[in-house]
Chain A
Amino acid sequence: MTAQLAPEAPGAASLVQPVAATGWRLAVRRFRHNTLAVIGLAVIVVIVLFCFVGPFLYPTDQTHTQLSQANLGPSAAHWLGTDAVGHDVLGRLMFGGKVSLTVGIAAGILATVVGTLWGSVAGYVGGWVDAVMMRVVDAGIAIPALFILLVISAITTPGVGGLIVILGFVSWLVPSRLIRAETLTLKNRDYVLTLRAIGGSHARAIGRHLLPNSVSTIVVAATFQVADAILLVAYVSYLGLGVQAPATDWGGMLSAGLTAAYSGRWWLIVPPGLAVILVVCAFNAVGDGLRDAFDVRGR
């Protein structure tokens, strides 16, 4: 409250920068300079194309078992060999990837949306509402997600939709904390106070100021949530609680191939394992890149 004539900060922050680009364009430029993030994005694009477009270029039968074709090694007819019931593994990788990616991405987004709503309401309203809502989150975090998943899966056998809802439900807690913190700082910014002082509505404060300014946080959170969710799908399916045969996903493929691990049929394990690792790493790299790109320091 005393004299606060801006002193020069040491370093570049105090210097007049010739800024012409908008915030978004600047973010894009920064993202493009992050090699790892660009590679991550490329990997995601390639794998999505592989799973969703690949089956048209490399059609295989993933519904009927063909025991005569079981357990073949890689060949010209089956590039990555076949599994114990005669499904082409390369085709199955695409087929299972569709489920893994769909469930992972949808669950990650669902978790972020629920978390954003919960966290922003708690942060904006404040007071006892905030206290109650955040204790709910604390309680949720205190129960291991895996435990909840196992219990739910034991009761029902979820389809793709069910899996999305369940995974989304167990992973919205962390983003809600993140968004609450963001809301707490944003709601006391001078421009929000100014708006409220002249009689602006809460809806306007949230819609025009809080949400647009949290978008970067939300997008970054969503990226990491998707990576987590894909891993979680693989996890759940590996334990045999994922989508049921003949449908499968990468976790399910790993689980099914486990018995072959010691008999030299590497093509049942390595491809789905690599796919999970690649996608999760790629999403994390993109998340890191986005976080750096949106970082306000130095702007």
Chain B
Amino acid sequence: MSILTTTDLGIAFATESGTVDAVRGVSLHVEPGETLALVGESGSGKSTVALAAMGLLSGNATVSGSAVVDGHEVVGAAEPALRKLRGSTVSMVFQEPATALDPLTRVGAQIAEVIRNHGDVSASDAAARAVDLLDRVGIPSPAARAKAFPFQLSGGQRQRVVIAMAIANAPKLLIADEPTTALDVTVQAEILELLRRLAADTGTGVLLVTHNMGVVADFADRVAVMLQGEIVETGGVEDVLLRPQHDYTKRLLAAVPRLAVAPAGAAAAGGSGPVASAGPVASAGPVASSGDPDGRPGATPVVDLRDVSVTFGRGARAVHALQGIDIAVHAGETVGLVGESGSGKSTAARVALGLIKPTSGSVHLFGSDLRTARGRDRRALRSGIGVVLQDPVASLDARMSVAECIAEPLAVHRRGMSSADRRKRIDEVLDAVRLPRTLASRAPRELSGGQRQRVSLARALVLSPRLLVADEPTSALDVSVQETVLEVLRELQDDLGFACLFVSHDLAVVQQFAERVVVMRQGVIEEQGTTDTTLLHPTTDYTRRLLAAVPVPDPVLQRRRRADRLATLAAVDA
């Protein structure tokens, strides 16, 4: 018998601007021991389905159809009945481990509380079982860690604690809503491994909600693809990911940036390694255009960070965000700055922008030292910079129109410009980022995330900059939108020839987009070189581990990569 069955599930939300159908006619089932991945882009309704299965929808939701969990109807069920189900028969792992735990309660006590909520267990037994659970989710020295507060654990460990809470009462169904989206790739690989093992050991059915096709390939048995509240395609993971039937699935998969991988075993013995690339790699790849093989042409770099260190705070609480890094970006080239959270890549970008003063070292922008430039010169230097930041919502002032947002750099640096000229320039850059001119009078709020990022890009380009600094410009966007934004960016760079410092955590995107790559870790540069060399034949263990942890959206290849990765890790441990 299926552990979860939804039949013709429909969910509508009453909002200020009318009723919105979020989910329509969704029928799916999850068998014991099986993982069903519910994939789709933002707004497709996948999380809403997951919440409905828990009976956790907000008060303005109207639900039709049925959702049966282990023989219990959830739709329309009374709150006490739902409470009995939640945490025992069905439990949930949320995206953000930082907010899923109570910051003021020790993690052992939080797990024990979940156990005691659903069973007549003595406090000491519950505490002992909490330690057991921490051990099962792979937390080292669990007895000591049980006494830790959430803030004393890393993000990955916190997510392990959340998982321990979810499996505390041996649920038959585990709902994981983007369980690894907030985590670094190496941590993501570990968490996925853990979830897979737990599900296999206990025969738990898993409903995995995710946007990441790599995670799907790594973890799921079956896949259901959602589009605008409906399931458009469902099937086995290899069928859907390798032989998609529906147009939308095809488009979605085509938009996923794929990491090209070197033939495995090249470094090790030349055994039965998987064959090179994984799909349409960097078709328009600008890789060949870089000059010197070492990627450091003789000309003066557009931006040059030399031996830059940044320390926040002082004394015992000092944080060394950057420790003596050298990064140079030359005209016309794109340098990808990659690394996990806390690696200092955004700090480095902000130093290049002059937003953070380096504690030591020098920053040269267009050949002039930023420290010695004053007043008018400094402002003139700055007019050569364009900036695109990550958050499409926070990047644009909600109180300004799109035209005002784009014109802001003109208002700063081209005070004398007539309003007709300004108008014309705004139209030009809107054309350049392929947005209709009619958007100029709209409010940013009326635009989609992808459109907003293109407005940000238009604003960055309005002064024809020589350097564009892009800090995770696409990581808040859906893959299909990301594809368009990157395409626009690449075309513009070809036309205008600006240098680009591209900060990203996504190795596949960087591989497609950058000629040179700088890999950072904990404030130091691990290695840098041309994208081809560094990302295909990395010289440091760290880069190798980083690359191995990226899940690729091909279940067959991913299975092999996973096995290789585990073998490598085992070899390191041995």
Contact = CB atoms under 8 A, between A and B. Distances in A.
Say if A and B assemble together. Answer: yes
Interface of A: 1-12, 14-20, 22-23, 30, 189-191, 193-201, 204, 208-209, 212-213, 298-299
A22 B408 contact: no
B494 interface: no
Given A19-B17, A194-B395, 17 more contacts: A5-B181, A6-B42, A7-B209, A9-B47, A11-B57, A14-B22, A14-B48, A15-B20, A19-B445, A20-B446, A189-B394, A190-B395, A193-B387, A193-B389, A199-B380, A199-B413, A212-B397
B477 interface: yes
A2 B212 CA distance: 13
Contacts, number: 172
A198 B463 contact: yes
Contact of A8 (B42, B345, B390): B42
Nearest to B378: A199
Residue among A6, A22, A204, A212 with most chain B CB within 10 A: A6
Contacts of B472: 1, 4
Interface in B120-157: none
Contact of A5 (B211, B395, B408): B211
A103 B343 CA distance: 57
B473 to A, nearest CB: 11
A191 to B, nearest CB: 5
Contact of A11 (B46, B60, B396): B60
A8 B354 contact: no
Contact of A198 (B177, B409, B479): B409
B449 A6 contact: yes
Give the size category of B's interface with A: 35 or more
6 contacts: A3-B475, A7-B47, A9-B47, A14-B42, A194-B389, A208-B408
B383 A198 contact: yes
Given A8-B45, A12-B60, A197 B341 contact: no
Contact of B13 (A12, A197, A200, A212): A12
B43 A23 contact: no
A3 B182 contact: yes
A17 B443 CA distance: 14
Contacts of A17: 15-17, 20
Interface in B511-531: none
A1 B341 contact: yes
A186 B451 CA distance: 23
Contacts of B378: 199
Interface string B36-48: 0000001111111
B77 interface: no
B17 A5 contact: no
Given A10-B58, A19-B445, A197-B355, A4 B15 contact: no
A6 B390 CA distance: 11
Contacts of A15: 13, 15, 20, 22, 43
Contacts of A23: 398-399, 443, 445
Contact of A200 (B209, B343, B386, B408): B408
A226 B237 CA distance: 64
A30 to B, nearest CB: 8
Nearest to A15: B20
Residue among A9, A10, A200 with most chain B CB within 10 A: A10
Contacts of A8: 42-48
Interface in B389-423: 389-391, 394-400, 405, 408-409, 411-413
Contacts of A190: 389-391, 394-395
Residue among A2, A18, A193 with most chain B CB within 10 A: A2
A4 B42 contact: no
A1 B505 contact: yes
B42 A7 contact: yes
A198 B400 CA distance: 18
B506 A3 contact: yes
B474 to A, nearest CB: 9
B51 A5 contact: no
Contacts of B469: 197
A16 B395 CA distance: 20
Given A1-B341, A1-B346, A5-B475, A199 B412 contact: yes
A19 B48 contact: no
A4 B389 contact: no
B178 A14 contact: no
A197 B387 contact: yes
A17 B478 CA distance: 18
Contacts of A204: 411-412
A199 B382 contact: yes
B183 interface: yes
Nearest to B61: A11
Nearest to A197: B353
A196 B343 CA distance: 24
B182 A4 contact: yes
B16 A5 contact: no
Contacts of B182: 2-4
A190 to B, nearest CB: 4
A204 B17 CA distance: 35
Contacts of B103: none
Nearest to A22: B443
Contacts of A19: 17, 445-446
B557 interface: no
B476 interface: yes
Counting from the closest, the 8 A-B pairs by CB-CB distance are A199-B382, A1-B341, A11-B58, A197-B353, A190-B389, A190-B394, A12-B15, A8-B47
B554 interface: no
Contacts of B61: 11
A245 to B, nearest CB: 49
Contacts of B396: 191
Contacts of A198: 382-383, 385-387, 409, 412-413, 463
A3 B383 contact: no
B304 interface: no
Interface in B472-525: 472, 475-479, 505-506
Nearest to A200: B412
Residue among A190, A194, A200 with most chain B CB within 10 A: A194
A14 B45 CA distance: 9
A10 B51 contact: yes
B394 to A, nearest CB: 4
B24 interface: no
Contact of A3 (B15, B47, B181, B385): B181
B158 interface: no
Contacts of B95: 7
Contact of B184 (A2, A10, A213): A2
A204 B411 CA distance: 10
Contacts of A197: 353-355, 382, 385, 387, 469
A75 to B, nearest CB: 53
A213 B396 CA distance: 12
A190 B184 CA distance: 23
Nearest to B178: A7
B396 to A, nearest CB: 6
A10 B182 CA distance: 17
Contacts of A16: 20, 43
Contacts of A9: 47
A201 B413 CA distance: 10
Interface in B58-75: 58, 60-61
Residue among A19, A20, A199 with most chain B CB within 10 A: A199
B56 interface: yes
Residue among A14, A197, A200, A299 with most chain B CB within 10 A: A197
Contacts of B353: 197
